């Protein structure tokens, strides 16, 4: 029976000869992880279940990143729980402040999540690793606690939905624009509990950073995973990073899809998701009268070096508008260091931006950029629900780094071409 890439990966991690959508399976896991919000509860579950040792000290990761460096006593206690457990268990992959980064950028860059893997993480944006050709999905802390003990988890095999991108990307069109366009077309529940598979000539030419962005936001369409078949671009990224063997899977000709979308994006404008939903998407040209207060460039969606380079290209020799607070957050310490060496941080500081240590903070309204009532932000993050980045009376517009940088200079939502 022909299988999709998602079905092949799931089947390879079971004892079954074949699987089908809707089947309940138990599967072995290649890597499991949690952060400073979700892992403390998982550790409690692990211990209440009688856990003494994790299933593999090299395949359990703990990454404090949401409220790190600690913003208050409660967050310090959360981080302490991770730190103590990592020491008790002698975990290989615990990333302390100064050696850490935002989990969904850090783990691929460290070669810990790889093509063909089956991965769970106690964070909804675990689907990011689908960009590598892995089946990766978010779970709750209870499932993570059980997986840390057993090295396995249960899954309901999802049906697959294929999205085919044709045409040529116009200047300034990025993976962020493609995924916002997708969510705008199919809605926040358009791929609910589906494996969203991105293919076509546009995807085949898409750089790795943009692929990560697309897979990262698959969850905003309700998807279980956002997966991209691996190719030579994937190989170039993983070959010198991988800490263990990996395998490329491809969908079979004739594999069954619940639905297939096919779009030509040659005339696509940069896309912006307006309050208060990732599906409330409009072309940037329709929003030029929206005045803003803050711009955030970073997060697990768009905090990679390629994203910072694009922002710096636009900001070089310019300053943020007087009323704008511009916050730039490199996603990992290594990216921070590379950005420093390339002179990107100097460009940001000359533009009167704040450059932050790696953290998820502003994305979830935790710290480093919480919005007050009535304020508007353009952000390269992934969610813009009511109160997501601060006061319930604030507004968040989601965009690419290019649109965010241009908007910072002009003080309103702007197309990069305006500069």
Cβ count within 10 A of residue 22: 9
Residues 145 and 28 in one domain: yes
Six-digit token string for 412: 């309103």
pLDDT digits (tens, 9 = 90+) for 227-241: 999 999 999 999 999
Asked, for residue 256, whether it belongs to a domain, the answer is yes
- Segments forming the whole domain that contains residue 174: 5-262
Q: Check: CB of residue 115 under 8 Å from CB of residue 133.
A: yes
Residues 310 and 201 in one domain: no
Residues 122 and 50 in one domain: yes
Any idea what DSSP says for residue 141? H
Residues 321 and 351 in one domain: yes
Cβ count within 10 A of residue 255: 18
CA distance 150 to 178: 38
Asked, for residue 277, whether it belongs to a domain, the answer is yes
Cβ count within 10 A of residue 244: 12
CA distance 298 to 125: 15
Asked, for residue 185, whether it belongs to a domain, the answer is yes
Residues 334 and 296 in one domain: yes
Q: Check: CB of residue 106 under 8 Å from CB of residue 212.
A: no
Structural domain total, the chain: 2
pLDDT of residue 97: 92
pLDDT of residue 372: 97
Residues 279 and 138 in one domain: no
Q: Check: CB of residue 92 under 8 Å from CB of residue 54.
A: no
Residues 291 and 162 in one domain: no
CATH number, domain of 276, equals: 3.30.499.10
Residues 242 and 281 in one domain: no
**Which secondary-structure segment (H or E) carries 118?**
strand 118-121
Low pLDDT (below 70) residues in the chain = none
Asked, for residue 198, whether it belongs to a domain, the answer is yes
Q: Check: CB of residue 339 under 8 Å from CB of residue 308.
A: yes
Count how many Cα atoms sit within 13 Å of the Cα of residue 250 in the half-sphere of its side chain: 7
Asked, for residue 267, whether it belongs to a domain, the answer is no
Helix segments in 239-332, DSSP class H: 299-302, 305-315
Residues 199 and 322 in one domain: no
Residues 219 and 339 in one domain: no
pLDDT of residue 16: 87
Residues 6+ apart with CB under 8 A from 343: none
pLDDT digits (tens, 9 = 90+) for 396-405: 999 999 999 9
Last residue of a domain, one of 202, 228, 262: 262
Q: Check: CB of residue 307 under 8 Å from CB of residue 329.
A: no
Best CA proximity match to 241, nearest among 107, 110, 106: 110
Asked, for residue 285, whether it belongs to a domain, the answer is yes
pLDDT of residue 202: 98
Residues 320 and 211 in one domain: no
Does residue 50 come out as left (phi exceeding 0), alpha (psi in the -120 to 50 range) or beta?
left
Residues 211 and 324 in one domain: no
């Amino acid at each position: 029976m022909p299988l999709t890439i998602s079905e092949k990966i799931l089947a390879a991690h079971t004892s079954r000869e074949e699987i089908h959508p809707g089947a309940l399976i138990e599967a072995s896991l290649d890597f499991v992880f949690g952060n400073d919000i979700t892992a403390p509860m998982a550790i409690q579950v692990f211990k209440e279940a009688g856990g003494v040792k994790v299933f593999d000290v090299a395949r359990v990761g703990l990454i404090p990143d949401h409220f790190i460096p600690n913003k208050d006593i409660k967050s310090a206690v959360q981080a302490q729980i991770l730190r103590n457990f990592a020491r008790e268990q002698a975990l290989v992959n615990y990333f302390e402040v100064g050696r850490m980064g935002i989990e969904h950028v850090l783990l691929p860059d460290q070669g810990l999540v790889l093509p063909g893997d089956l991965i769970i993480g106690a964070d909804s944006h675990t689907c990011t690793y689908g960009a590598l050709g892995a089946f990766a999905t978010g779970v709750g802390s209870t499932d993570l606690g059980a997986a840390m003990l057993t090295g396995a988890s249960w899954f309901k095999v999802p049906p697959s939905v294929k999205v085919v991108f044709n045409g040529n990307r116009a200047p300034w069109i990025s993976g962020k624009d493609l995924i916002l366009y997708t969510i705008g077309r199919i809605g926040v529940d358009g791929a609910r509990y589906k494996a969203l598979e991105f293919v076509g000539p546009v995807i085949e030419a898409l750089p790795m950073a943009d692929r990560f962005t697309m897979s990262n936001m698959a969850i905003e369409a309700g998807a279980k995973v956002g997966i991209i078949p691996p190719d030579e671009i994937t190989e170039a990224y993983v070959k010198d990073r991988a800490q263990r063997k990996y395998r490329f899977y491809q969908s079979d000709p004739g594999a069954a899809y619940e639905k297939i979308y096919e779009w030509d994006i040659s005339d696509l404008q940069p896309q912006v998701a307006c309050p208060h939903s990732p599906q409330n998407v409009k072309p940037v040209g329709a929003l030029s009268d929206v005045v803003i207060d803050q711009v955030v460039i970073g997060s697990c969606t768009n905090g990679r070096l390629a994203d910072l380079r694009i922002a710096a290209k636009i900001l070089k020799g310019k300053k943020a508008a007087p009323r704008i607070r511009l916050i730039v957050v490199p996603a990992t310490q290594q990216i921070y260091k590379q950005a420093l060496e390339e002179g990107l941080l100097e460009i940001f500081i000359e533009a009167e931006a704040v450059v932050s240590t790696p953290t998820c903070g502003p994305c979830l309204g935790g710290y480093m950029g919480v919005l007050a009532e009535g304020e508007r932000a353009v952000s390269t993050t992934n969610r813009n629900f009511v109160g997501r980045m601060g006061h319930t009376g604030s507004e968040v517009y989601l965009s690419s780094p290019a649109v965010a940088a241009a908007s910072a200079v002009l003080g309103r939502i702007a197309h990069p071409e305006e500069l």
